[in-house]
Structure 1
Amino acid sequence: MILPRVTLAAGLLAATAASAHETAGRHGGRVTDAGTFHVELVARGETVDVFLSDEGQRPIPAAGFKGTAILVVGGKPTRVPLEPADGNRLTGKAATALGAGPRGAVQLTGPDGGTASGTFH
């Protein structure tokens, strides 16, 4: 009886801690942790831009990275493939407008094959 309550409490604390890491970014988006990276999600119209930085907020070149943004649009998940662009930016186009602050996740694969993901609430 106590174990389910402890598990529920731990889950709620983890969810609260995860959303507490989301902050405002340099490019007008929201920043969250994705493994050892910080990712900033900027959605404008159908365009999704994800900016990569390290723990010290220094830009990480996007060359060699690939990713997917899985965002909720109209209550349904929308997958947007992301490809490297200039500097520390990955970009992609959705089929429909996403709105300014979509919820969802960004999944990344680095040049070394390692993966990371960040969640946006």
Structure 2
Amino acid sequence: MLRNLIPTAVTCLALGIGAIAHAADKHGHDHKPQHGGLIAEAADLDFELVAKTDSLTLYVAHDGKPVATAGAKGTATVVAGSEKIAATFEPAGSNTLVAKGSFKMGVGVRVAVAVTLAGKPEAKLNFRLK
């Protein structure tokens, strides 16, 4: 009798996990880049980094809706090989932070970001350029 229950229990468990994962996908999170950048999630927020040789732009959203960046503070460290370049983000629009500078771009370049939005815990993000 126990032999008959084990496959049934495993099947129920697998279906339950699949249903939970499916429900999470329908929760409203759209992890597709809206600005052609890379997406990372932290502190219950979605961050999209658009990296260019002269600027780093960070868009902030929650469940697909823009999150205000007024009063936000942030830093970025761009790591290209053995070279590290530090930058400071400044609010630049309703849900946007921008860091200006001269940055190396290319496959494998890493960008470590730390951002604090008003009333939110610090978000630490890591992006790897493609």
**Same fold by TM-score greater than 0.5:** yes
Identical pairs, percent = 30
Q: Equivalent residues in 2 for 1:1-121 (5 A)?
A: 24-54=32-62, 56-94=63-101, 96-99=102-105, 102-112=109-119, 114-121=121-128
Q: 1:67 to 1:75 in 2, by over 3 A?
A: same
Secondary structure of 1:32 counterpart:
strand
Structure 2 alignment gaps of length 5 or more:
1-30
Larger gyration radius, structure 1 or structure 2: 2
Mapped contact 2:71–2:117 kept (Cα < 8 A): yes
Task: Give the distance between the partners of 1:79 and 1:73, measured in 2 at CA.
Answer: 12
Secondary structure of 1:70 counterpart:
strand
Task: Give the distance between the partners of 1:33 and 1:113, measured in 2 at CA.
Answer: 14
Aligned length: 97
| C-alpha RMSD of the superposition | 1.9
Q: Deviations over 1:67-111 (max 9, x none)?
A: 0111113432221100101121100112x2332564122101121
Task: Give the distance between the partners of 2:68 and 2:124, measured in 1 at CA.
Answer: 17
Q: 1:24 to 1:45 in 2, by over 3 A?
A: farther
Q: Structure 1 segments of 4 or more deviating over 6 A?
A: none
Deviation at 1:34, TM superposition (A): 1.9
Task: Give the distance between the partners of 1:65 and 1:26, measured in 2 at CA.
Answer: 21
Which structure has more relative contact order (CA 8 Å, sep 6+)? It is 1
Structure 1 alignment gaps of length 5 or more:
1-22
TM-score under structure 2 length normalisation: 0.66
